[in-house]
Structure 1
Amino acid sequence: MKLFLVGALLLLSVYASDDVIVYGDSSWDDGIKQHEVALVKFYAPWCGHCKRMAPEYEKAATKLKANDPPIALIKVDCTIDKETCDKFGVQGFPTLKIFRNGEVSQDYDGPREADGIIKYMRGQSGPSARELTSQADFDKFLSQDDNAVIGFFEGESKLKDSFLKVADTERDRFRFGYTSVKAVLEKAGFTDDIVVYPPKKLQNKFEPNEFKYDGNYDTDKIKNFLVHETNGLAGVRTQGNLFQFESKPLVTVYYNVDYVKDPKGSNYWRNRVLKVAQDYKRKVHFAVSNKEEFSSEIDEHGLADRKESDKPLVAAQTSEGKFPMDKPFSIENLKEFVDDLLAGKLQSYMKSEPIPDNQENLKVAVGRNFKELIIDADKDALIEFYAPWCGHCKTLAPKYEELADKLAEEDVIIAKMDATANDVPPLFNVKGFPTLFWLPKNDKQNPVPYNGGREVKDFVKFIAAHSTDGLKGYDKNGKKTKKSTDEL
């Protein structure tokens, strides 16, 4: 009876929640050693980040369990199994670590959604490029549900050397395989080539079922090919492959893309996008994305009130801003939308506070007046992007206002913008608060990040040194000048 209870307890401490393995203090030491490569999530049930990550982690676990070789996704509840969490210095949740043969290999710093986790962890398992030694190996490699990057090499070559180097650096983004088997090469019809094969579910009648690299053995050119030329006419854009969809203009069609639960429905709408996309090669880039996965992006494009529509939603991103399609989705409406986008006939969507009725010395920029107030003005400008909740911004606020008062008579605009309530123009890379940029009046398209001191005298000195026409009341070193005789 005692042995039965021990066995039952052990089973309770090691079980699968879907395909995520759960280990506890009593099962950790023996369990973790069983896995050649494993990703472990140390979490707390009350943690909001953990709750949001949980379904993505479970989706990734299911796919990685079927990987060749399998990759285990494990979780440890730190509110129960404190000894294990303390052993690995867990202080915040979730904490993720990669283990190899029972030992910590590294902290996990990859994406936290399913597609990104899968790609990142596949890159941690086995060689960076798998050798395919038979036709069966080749067919199995192609059968998975993401792009297969395959090198065909009759023997040693410079292209093969470059291919393997690229595989080493890009293994967490793409899945690489290579073969020198004569029968495989003959059947595929390639000899010294790199070819990308989309999964069968994405193959269609509008484009080839393979993408062949036509460049030389330059590794940067191979990487560029993989990133920018293997999505096809309308790739499936996810949170895990955003790096492949940075070219503009980009037209994204949002609907319930799900190639696991509804492949037929997913292709029904994608085929309509493809039909339009084939007429705009090299001019416009297209993608399809899951509505739920990109819910916040849909909001940012001004389509929040149409999320319940049973038809796809459409929005474009260009260097000029964001453009939602107002009409219901159809092939004809999508084509008209793209034509109008290229012709510059569309009005961009902009999240914006109301334009202030009155402006003080410290100008308030919002989405709707930014171009007129900052870009079009024939003056130099210093702009601060801030967040109302930011402590550093609150500390800067009185000094920044004093600066605006000091330079009120100068040929320079001192302005601020709440970056949480207004769309930040694409020109500006704002990742933290406060972020400040200097814009010379003759070169507003190339804002200069301000990284100097944040005292009033620091700002004055910087502006005096960089102002296009100089300041009337300050010399180039930011020192006040004496009033002229005429002013006495």
Structure 2
Amino acid sequence: MIGAKTAFFATLLAVAYGAGAVLEYTDGNFDDLIKTHELALVKFYAPWCGHCKRMAPEFEKAAPKLLANDPPVALIKVDCTVEKTVCETHGVKGYPTLKIFRNGVVAQDYDGPREADGIIKFMRGQSGPSSKELNSVADFDKIIAGDENVVIGFFESESKLKDSFLKVADTERDRFSFAHTSNKDVLKKAGYTDDIVVYVPKKLHNKFDSNEFKYDGNYDTDKIKNFLVQETVGLAGIRTQGNLYQFESKPIVIVYYNVDYVKDPKGSNYWRNRVLKVAQNYKRKVQFAVSNKEEFSQEIETNGLGERKDSDKPIVVVLTNEGKFPMDQEFSIDNLQQFVDEVLSGNAEPYMKSEAVPEEQGDLKVAVGKNFKELILDSDKDVLIEFYAPWCGHCKSLAPKYEELATKLKDEDVIIAKMDATANDVPPLFEVRGFPTLFWLPKNSKSSPVPYNGGREVKDFVSFISRHSTDGLRGYARDGKKKKKTEL
């Protein structure tokens, strides 16, 4: 009853404040109203904040679904440029700051996704027990009639599988919805007794996939987790920003179009069925997925499909360990089949974002997408490579020192190089999450780059390179000190 009253009260408030399903609280009412919610996610924001503006529509999309959750989850926003007291009370120092409240008390900082689907999954995972117990056929029918996959454990009696299922539910509640039952009527209707089954929502049913995915392993929790992540999305899963962890294997074929099972389920299924028809020919060899164009607009650009993103038909990229392969042909079943075959057979050229190859190189070598393999990976020298961004302040501070280092070591058996990571594709071998990022590549093991985390003065670089150079430096000892002329 508490959940129903809270949901009703939250809905009335939403209408009263004219802000859709996202509630807006103030200094005057925050302390009183936050107590009325069993679970709430509060966004402390500033109207001028760019990150806040990007998150706002995602918050609005997630709010009505979370209000309809059982128990309901309230999404609340507080404008810290106006409501300064409550923001100071909760230690808000940056925007947006997100906090999870339980019955009016801060439970934890929110560190989950910031797009609608991810927010919904994360917050549903925070509400109620990690696995909901189904005590009747009505409970079972209601939960499988939802709009998301649900993982249900069927247990006739106590078992090791049940124990493992509940442990997995505790650790994976942010990713999946769990339920379990020992009710005889439910077991009879479902036809399972000591099993774990993932039910696919009706809107995603198709003639190519099963509507249920049954776990066939033992009670090993890691195997259960692997099953949930790897084997429950079907032949062409709906890939969103919130479930990317289920689409990490390669090769993978990603088909982008206006996927929207709320506003246009018929159109969404029309194109997905055509992808499924091709995907069935590559079971366990290639993963297929469909993604919303708007949600992945930046990825579309990165994958070389920017010029085709306004196409009325789906656009396609195949990602392999060798690179990314955007499909130039207009989408059709035959063209998709042919293109995937071309990529798998090695007859397609990978796309590479690249600046023009420099006509001349100085002491500091400039790597771009098109010359990276030749200049860096295929060279017979050790390499220190910097990945930078032109707008990065730390990169600008490093630039003159890095130039000096390159000049100082120009006659040594080492390449000092840099690459603009915003204008060129960074090879998959390197994990670049911030700028500048530097790697050391010994000439005999270029496939195992070593992150450079040392000092950023010239003497620090020289000291590091002296110690780690494969054959030693002619002008410097292993301790980084310059050799005397008699030693040269």
The alignment's TM-score, normalised by the length of structure 1, stands at: 0.94
2:104 aligns to what? 102
Amino acid at match of 1:310: D
- Whether 1:362 and 2:364 are equivalent positions in the alignment is yes
2:311 aligns to what? 309
Cα displacement (A) at 1:451: 1.3
1:393 aligns to what? 395
- Whether 1:438 and 2:440 are equivalent positions in the alignment is yes
Structure 2 gaps, min length 5: 1-11
1:141 corresponds, among 140, 143, 146, to 143
Amino acid at match of 1:71: V
2:59 aligns to what? 57
Q: Which moved more, 1:362-371 or 1:300-309?
A: 300-309
Distance between the aligned counterparts of 2:184 and 2:426, measured in 1?
55
Amino acid at match of 2:71: P
Contact 2:379 2:443 in 1 (8 A): yes
Q: Which moved more, 1:165-174 or 1:80-89?
A: 80-89
Cα displacement (A) at 1:484: 5.6
Distance between the aligned counterparts of 2:225 and 2:67, measured in 1?
28
2:243 aligns to what? 241
Contact 1:78 1:85 in 2 (8 A): yes
Distance between the aligned counterparts of 2:400 and 2:23, measured in 1?
54
Amino acid at match of 2:23: I
Distance 1:11 1:18, change over 3 A: closer
Cα displacement (A) at 1:403: 1.7
2:261 aligns to what? 259
2:411 corresponds, among 409, 412, 419, to 409
Distance between the aligned counterparts of 1:87 and 1:410, measured in 2?
59
Q: Percent identity?
A: 76
Cα displacement (A) at 1:466: 2.0
2:325 corresponds, among 323, 326, 345, to 323
Cα displacement (A) at 1:388: 1.6
Cα displacement (A) at 1:45: 2.5
Distance between the aligned counterparts of 1:478 and 1:413, measured in 2?
17
Q: Deviations over 1:37-94 (max 9, x none)?
A: 0111122333222222111111100111111111111122233333322322223222
Contact 1:254 1:290 in 2 (8 A): yes
1:468 aligns to what? 470
Q: Deviations over 1:448-472 (max 9, x none)?
A: 1111222222222222222222222
1:276-355 aligned at under 5 Å gives the runs: 276-355=278-357
SS at match of 1:194: strand
Contact 1:16 1:22 in 2 (8 A): no
Cα displacement (A) at 1:14: 5.2
Distance between the aligned counterparts of 1:45 and 1:381, measured in 2?
46
Distance between the aligned counterparts of 1:286 and 1:12, measured in 2?
40
- Whether 1:189 and 2:196 are equivalent positions in the alignment is no
Cα displacement (A) at 1:176: 0.5
Structure 1 gaps, min length 5: 1-9
Distance 1:350 1:35, change over 3 A: same
Contact 1:13 1:22 in 2 (8 A): no
Distance between the aligned counterparts of 1:446 and 1:47, measured in 2?
40
Distance 1:387 1:460, change over 3 A: same
1:7 aligns to what? none
1:215 aligns to what? 217
Distance 1:410 1:178, change over 3 A: same
Distance 1:476 1:83, change over 3 A: closer
1:458 aligns to what? 460
2:8 aligns to what? none
Cα displacement (A) at 1:400: 1.5
Amino acid at match of 1:117: I
Contact 1:43 1:50 in 2 (8 A): yes
2:32 corresponds, among 25, 30, 33, to 30
Cα displacement (A) at 1:160: 1.1
Distance between the aligned counterparts of 2:99 and 2:359, measured in 1?
53
1:4 aligns to what? none
Contact 2:258 2:294 in 1 (8 A): yes
Amino acid at match of 1:411: D
Q: Deviations over 1:403-446 (max 9, x none)?
A: 21222122211100111111111110001111111112222111
2:428 corresponds, among 420, 426, 429, to 426
Distance between the aligned counterparts of 1:306 and 1:178, measured in 2?
46
Contact 1:302 1:324 in 2 (8 A): yes
**Considering only aligned residues, what root-mean-square deviation do their CA atoms show, in Å?**
1.8
1:46-85 aligned at under 5 Å gives the runs: 46-85=48-87
Q: Deviations over 1:255-296 (max 9, x none)?
A: 000000100000000000000011111211111000111111
Q: Which moved more, 1:227-236 or 1:386-395?
A: 386-395
Q: Deviations over 1:340-359 (max 9, x none)?
A: 11111111111111111100
Cα displacement (A) at 1:304: 1.1
SS at match of 1:59: helix
Distance 1:12 1:464, change over 3 A: closer
Cα displacement (A) at 1:320: 1.9
SS at match of 1:279: helix
1:5 aligns to what? none
SS at match of 2:282: coil
1:6 aligns to what? none
Distance between the aligned counterparts of 1:55 and 1:238, measured in 2?
16
Aligned pairs, number: 477
